[in-house]
């Protein structure tokens, strides 16, 4: 369907990005999956071509573009494979915190390298004992002179191995009530004393996306690396979650579109009982039903993107999109794998990878159960 917020310039950008990915990503993607990592060289190539954080102001090295360019990058990366999610996280989830809450000195120091690909970013909220319950995090940051002494552990961190800058949620005040008022955000640099990376986590899917544990043992983080104000971290996180969840919903939708596309091609060519299995009514009905639901999801997403670009508060609607479309993605994956028959269970078929990768989208960026509690609250049901 037509994306009304996109202009001719946007489409030229999409064509350029698509050609780049066909050359620099598609031929190597299965190798990256096997190696369980996307090489840093790919990030540098993205940066060199202007595909990292293009919305940043020209003053800091960006192109000062609108969110439509981010939508294009998210869509084209997802068409290649879901393991490129770390790029979208860097572009549209982590770096926006620095852009929105960083002071001029922080922006001048970090943003140019985030744009060039020299710096890869991550955000660390989840802990072994605190996921959705963000107010219950245990990582502390105690101010001592011109440093914070940070202790704690984070887990399931996207870009955890490659990251040069990590925004971490910490407790700078452990006594204040309610507890969320004691949360602050610190930017931890890769060579920080006391900061180390645990193991790269072995996941069911997203194999080439580097997910890791991060460990802080009396880590010395300069006070100048405080992002925004002390005690405002929870509010900053809540403010940015609308875009994060919109990004995840869009990724799940594009993955669903790709799964129906590859399955449609497969059933046209696969023969059984003297004709293509795409000629069987059951196959047709299954794909028609999935295509219809995906089209509904696309219509909803397009409306939300436009409203988000207009600066509207659409937390309830984005939460709806996040849970419904990621659940739809899992349904699409299951049905499409079934239509592939035994071949769908083979690693060399794209549907097998998509089936693995889509599962986590209903978990990260806030579980779908949490999405429903947010919707209920916005409906006045609490």
Q: What is the 3-state secondary structure (H, E, C) of 173-189?
A: CCCCCCHHHHEEEEEEE
CB atoms within 10 A of CB 105: 9
287 pLDDT higher than 80: yes
Q: What are phi and psi of 256, to 5 degrees?
A: -60, -45
What are the angstrom distances between the C-alpha of 332 and each of 245, 261, 290, 348, 359? 20, 11, 6, 19, 11
1 pLDDT higher than 70: no
Mean predicted confidence (pLDDT) in 327-334: 98
Check residue 69 and give its pLDDT.
Answer: 97
Following DSSP, what letter does each residue of 235-293 receive, concatenated? HHHHHHHHHHHHHHHHHHHHHHHHHHHHHHHHHHH-EETTEEGGGSHHHHHHHHHHHHH
Q: Quick check: pTM over 0.85?
A: yes
Same fold, 123-231 and 235-378: no
Spatial separation of the C-alpha atoms in residues 97 and 12, rounded to whole Å: 28
373 alpha carbon, distance to own chain's centre: 21
Which residues, in sequence order, are CB contacts of 43 under 8 Å at separation 6+? 52, 87, 117, 120, 162
Spatial separation of the C-alpha atoms in residues 329 and 255, rounded to whole Å: 7
Residues 123-231: name the CATH superfamily. Butyryl-CoA Dehydrogenase, subunit A, domain 2 (2.40.110.10)
Check residue 4 and give its pLDDT.
Answer: 82
Check residue 130 and give its pLDDT.
Answer: 76
Which residues, in sequence order, are CB contacts of 126 under 8 Å at separation 6+? 154, 155, 156, 157
- Pair 308, 242: CB distance under 8 Å: yes
2 pLDDT higher than 80: no
Closest C-alpha among 137, 200, 194, 199 to residue 171: 137
Residues 8-119: name the CATH superfamily. Acyl-CoA dehydrogenase/oxidase, N-terminal domain (1.10.540.10)
Q: What are phi and psi of 231, to 5 degrees?
A: 80, 0
Closest C-alpha among 234, 222, 172, 230 to residue 192: 222
- Pair 333, 354: CB distance under 8 Å: yes
Spatial separation of the C-alpha atoms in residues 39 and 81, rounded to whole Å: 15
Mean predicted confidence (pLDDT) in 34-47: 97
Between the CA atoms of 135, 358, 312 and 184, what dihedral angle is there, to the nearest 10 degrees? 20
| pLDDT tens profile 72-118 | 999 999 999 999 999 999 999 999 999 999 999 999 999 999 999 99
Check residue 378 and give its pLDDT.
Answer: 95
Q: What angle do CA 37, 31, 357 make, to 5 degrees?
A: 65
Radius of gyration (Cα) for the chain, nearest Å? 21
Q: What are phi and psi of 90, to 5 degrees?
A: -60, -50
- Pair 244, 237: CB distance under 8 Å: no
Percent of the chain with pLDDT over 90: 94
Check residue 180 and give its pLDDT.
Answer: 86
Mean predicted confidence (pLDDT) in 207-226: 97
| pLDDT tens profile 114-152 | 999 999 999 999 999 877 778 789 999 999 999 999 999
What are the angstrom distances between the C-alpha of 365 and each of 120, 151, 204? 19, 24, 18
Query: Is residue 328 very low, low, confident or very high in pLDDT (cuts 50, 70, 90)?
Result: very high
The domain locations on the chain are 8-119, 123-231, 235-378
| pLDDT tens profile 332-366 | 999 999 999 999 999 999 999 999 999 999 999 99
| CB burial readout 187-218, b (16+ within 10 A) else e | bbbeebeebebeeebebebbbbbbbbbbbbee
Catalytic residues: 244
Check residue 208 and give its pLDDT.
Answer: 96
Which residues are bridge partners to 183 per DSSP?
171
Q: Report, at the CATH architecture level, how domain 235-378 is classified.
A: Up-down Bundle (1.20)
């Amino acid at each position: 369907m037509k994306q009304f917020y996109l202009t001719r310039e946007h489409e030229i950008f999409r064509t350029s990005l698509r050609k780049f990915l066909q050359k620099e990503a598609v031929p190597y993607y299965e190798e990256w999956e096997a190696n369980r990592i996307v090489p840093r060289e790919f990030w540098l190539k993205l940066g060199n071509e202007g595909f990292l954080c293009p919305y940043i102001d020209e003053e800091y090295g960006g192109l000062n573009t609108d969110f439509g360019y981010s939508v294009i990058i998210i869509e084209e990366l997802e068409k290649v494979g879901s393991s490129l999610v770390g790029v979208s996280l860097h572009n549209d989830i982590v770096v926006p915190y620095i852009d929105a809450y960083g002071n001029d000195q922080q922006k001048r120091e970090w943003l140019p390298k985030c744009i060039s690909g020299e710096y890869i970013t991550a955000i660390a909220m989840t802990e072994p004992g605190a996921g959705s319950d963000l107010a219950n995090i245990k990582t502390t940051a105690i101010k001592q002179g011109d440093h914070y002494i940070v202790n704690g552990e984070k887990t399931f961190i996207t870009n955890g191995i490659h990251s040069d800058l990590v925004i971490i949620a910490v407790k700078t005040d452990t006594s204040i009530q309610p507890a969320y008022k004691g949360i602050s955000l610190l930017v931890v640099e890769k060579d920080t004393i006391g900061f180390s990376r645990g193991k790269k986590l072995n996941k069911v899917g997203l194999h080439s996306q580097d997910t890791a544990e991060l460990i802080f043992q009396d880590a010395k983080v300069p006070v100048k690396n405080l992002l925004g104000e002390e005690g405002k971290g929870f509010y900053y996180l809540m403010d940015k979650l609308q875009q994060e969840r919109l990004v995840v919903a869009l990724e799940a939708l594009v993955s669903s579109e790709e799964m129906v596309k590859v399955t449609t091609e497969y059933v046209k060519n696969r023969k059984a009982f003297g004709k293509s299995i795409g000629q069987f009514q059951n196959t047709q009905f299954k794909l028609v039903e999935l295509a219809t639901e995906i089209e509904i999801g696309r219509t909803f997403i397009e409306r939300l993107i436009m409203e988000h670009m207009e600066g509207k508060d659409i937390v309830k609607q984005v939460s709806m999109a996040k849970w419904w479309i990621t659940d739809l993605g899992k349904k699409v994956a299951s049905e499409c794998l079934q239509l592939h028959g035994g071949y769908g269970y083979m690693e060399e078929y794209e549907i097998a990878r998509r089936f693995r990768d889509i599962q986590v989208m209903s978990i990260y960026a806030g579980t779908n159960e949490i999405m429903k509690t947010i919707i209920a609250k916005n409906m006045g049901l609490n």
